[in-house]
Structure 1
Amino acid sequence: MTSTATRPRGARARAAIAAKTLRTDRWWFAPLITVIGLTAWIAYATVRVFMHKWYWVDAYHYLTPFYSPCVTDRCVDGSSHFGRFLPDWWVIPDAALTLPLLLLFRLSCYYYRKAYYRSYWLSPPACAVPDGHKAYSGETRFPLLGQNSHRYFFYAAAIISIINTYDAIYAFHSPKGFGFGLGNLILLANVVMLWGYTISCHSCRHIIGGRLKHFSQHPLRYKGWTFVSWLNVRHMQLAWITLGTLALTDFYVMAVAAGWFNDLRFIN
């Protein structure tokens, strides 16, 4: 605020407003919904990851993405496509190689930063609403310094998406031969959405065309950059959609594996 001593002659002082914000709309609604949604998903995912059961349907080769790839000694026969080389301690997730990387990819995602900064940390909760903290240091201190590693987690997420694609294709080849059911559609739709979220990442957009000076000299990269830019506009929606498809896919595989209901089969 400009003081009286330094304020130019004739300039008016700022109004003394006691209220923290003059917004009268429900600015708090979006942060609240974000907290509820993310907390519910995290709670569900945490329970499922440490259940250590109902993740593989041997009859149709369905493997939930929460357990892919399954690499502990606890993995049931058929579910481990890349070997079992980690101990079966309860605290070790069966997909211990991928889950931490996916978590870091999402935590450092530009959209998710905005989501949990505004909702959990209230930093700030909304435009024209004061920050919930007295001091602001941005991403200059630990652990937020790690946010700059997002570009590297993108490469890991891309590799994991390839593994998820393999799982979805492998599920078409059941012990009875080629098979096709509702579970296959769910696994396939989840993979498509995961690819959409992964390649719509800001880092992917920069990798494809961010450092090009002349698009005309790189027509293929320009087309790729244009497509990724189109997806990038929808990055927020894809971030939420993939949380939904991941939970739906996991729940469906769990339900079929637990015998709660049978898979709807179209072929075999």
Structure 2
Amino acid sequence: MATGTEPDLDPAGGVRGASRAAIAARHLRTDRWWLSPALTAAGLLAFVVYSTWRAFGNAHYYAAPYVSPFYSPCLAENCVPMKGGPNWEIFGSWWGLSPALLILIFPLGFRLTCYYYRKAYYRGFWASPPACAVAEPHRKYSGETRFPLILQNVHRYFFYAAVPVAGILTYDTVLAFRDEHYAWGHMGLGTVVMVVNIGLIWAYTLSCHSCRHIVGGKLKHFSRHPVRYRAWQWAGKLNARHMQLAWASLISVAVADFYVYLVASGVFADPRFF
């Protein structure tokens, strides 16, 4: 099954090269093979449009005690004061743009170089390949061996950056168990949204192929490393659901941000359970 990451055996002529079987039909599939890549492209495009609007908006990202995951940690001097939150003024007043642009590069880079997302947008946007058993429209294909796609190899380094970001968002979730006056022991609908979001973010992050390799890679004898072996098995179970977790966490982070936006902009008040 082609995934869009294998170099073509006949790069000069692609699948229509002289060394390939001469099949007149573009493909032999009779199902709606185009539906999956089309839906994938539509879903990713919708998130790109939404996240771009929110990242450059620079407003309505904090509604005590909730902070949008797009803006945390807030690293600029122009950040909205967040009571108890990770508001670190590392960048001075010279940064006049949205503070979200300073932090989103890390989760964005992590997802952009993710093995599943690479397959998804290669197929959805570049038709490389459009689907299994459907020929590529491109005559030449070099895989990820040339610039700029060779930069996809930095995925594991983005994983190292994604882990502390997830840790900070976990801290934000703990702070969500307060009321608007910062008193502990309260929970609202926003708290539930934040808890579900951070759970999915951690599940997606730890299901990463790089994480699985870090905890169990380069081991010759699992029996000599029982703890790493158990962690490798656990990461492997998550990795089997990497695609589902990628989409679930993508949706949850957008929902969490939009919820904070609605509360911060005064559309409705956060319902409190206790």
User: TM-score w.r.t. structure 2 length?
Assistant: 0.87
Letter in 2 for 1:41: F
**Distance apart, 1:251 and its partner CA:** 0.9
2:206 is the counterpart of 1:199: yes
Letter in 2 for 1:248: V
Correspondence for 2:159: 154
Q: 1:42 aligns with which of 32, 38, 48?
A: 48
Contact 1:121 1:132 in 2 (8 A): no
Pair 15,55 (structure 1): closer, same or farther in 2 beyond 3 Å: closer
**Distance apart, 1:72 and its partner CA:** 1.7
2:139 is the counterpart of 1:141: no
Q: Larger C-alpha radius of gyration, 1 or 2? A: 1
**Distance apart, 1:178 and its partner CA:** 2.9
Correspondence for 1:214: 221
**Distance apart, 1:91 and its partner CA:** 7.1
- Pairs aligned (count): 253
Letter in 2 for 1:144: L
Pair 220,116 (structure 1): closer, same or farther in 2 beyond 3 Å: same
Pair 159,50 (structure 1): closer, same or farther in 2 beyond 3 Å: same
Correspondence for 2:79: 75
- Unaligned residue ranges in structure 1 (runs of 5+): 1-13
Q: Identity over the aligned pairs, expressed in percent?
A: 53
**Distance apart, 1:95 and its partner CA:** 2.9
Q: 2:57 aligns with which of 37, 51, 60?
A: 51
Letter in 2 for 1:124: P
2:256 is the counterpart of 1:249: yes
Contact 1:71 1:96 in 2 (8 A): no
Correspondence for 2:10: none
Correspondence for 1:262: 269
CA distance in 1, matches of 2:28, 2:93: 56
Pair 89,182 (structure 1): closer, same or farther in 2 beyond 3 Å: farther
Superposed CA RMSD in Å reads 1.9
CA distance in 2, matches of 1:252, 1:117: 31
Runs of 4+ in 1 over 4 A off after TM superposition: 87-91
Q: How is 1:125-140 mapped onto 2 (pairs within 5 angstroms)?
A: 125-140=130-145
Higher relative contact order (CA 8 A, sep 6+): 2
Correspondence for 2:89: 84
Contact 1:201 1:235 in 2 (8 A): yes
- Unaligned residue ranges in structure 2 (runs of 5+): 1-19
Pair 139,218 (structure 1): closer, same or farther in 2 beyond 3 Å: same
Letter in 1 for 2:75: V
Q: 1:98 aligns with which of 96, 103, 107?
A: 103
SS of alignment partner, residue 83 of structure 1:
strand
**Distance apart, 1:96 and its partner CA:** 3.5
Pair 262,82 (structure 1): closer, same or farther in 2 beyond 3 Å: closer
